[in-house]
Amino acid sequence: MNKIEHIGIAVKNLKSANETYSKLFNQDPYKMEVVTSEAVTTSFFQIGESKIELLEGNSPESAISKYIEKRGEGIHHIAYAVQDIEQERDRLIKEGFQPIGEIKPGADNKLVCFFHPKSANSVLVELCQERS
Ligand code: ZN
């Protein structure tokens, strides 16, 4: 793994969270994006080399909506940049980490995959690889 790519924060209302975080960072998100496969709308802020992703669920069945219902708003996942997502995913599975679903297109022009929070001390792990 190369670095932390971003930290994902689950929010109830993306519009109001965008306003809050725009004040916090003194800048607007550089991107907003609907990820249909995940039923979420996301926004991204660039802080130096780091990124923050805000996520709002688009339906009650969305994983983000369910998360918020159970645990409230807050840090939802940490995403790590990898060079070769297939290789790294296989490596983690061999190490006993429990994958959630397959590798798929994610927000911000990335290929992504997830590992269950149970596998990593209650933090959802996202791997992401830049799409060429
Ligand atoms: Zn993410």
Q: Any bridge partners for residue 100, and if so which? A: 114
- In angstroms, what is the span from residue 7 Cα to ligand 1's centroid? 7
Residue partners of 65: CB distance under 8 A and separation at least 6: 39, 57, 58, 59
- In angstroms, what is the span from residue 124 Cα to ligand 1's centroid? 10
- DSSP reduced 3-state for 64: helix
Alpha carbon 44 to chain centroid, angstroms:
10
Q: CA 88, CA 67: separation in Å to the nearest integer?
A: 26
- In angstroms, what is the span from residue 5 Cα to ligand 1's centroid? 8
Q: 113 — phi, psi (to 5°)?
A: -150, 160
Question: Average per-residue pLDDT in the chain?
Answer: 95
For 11-46, what is each residue's pLDDT tens digit? 999 999 999 999 999 999 999 999 888 899 999 999
- In angstroms, what is the span from residue 77 Cα to ligand 1's centroid? 7
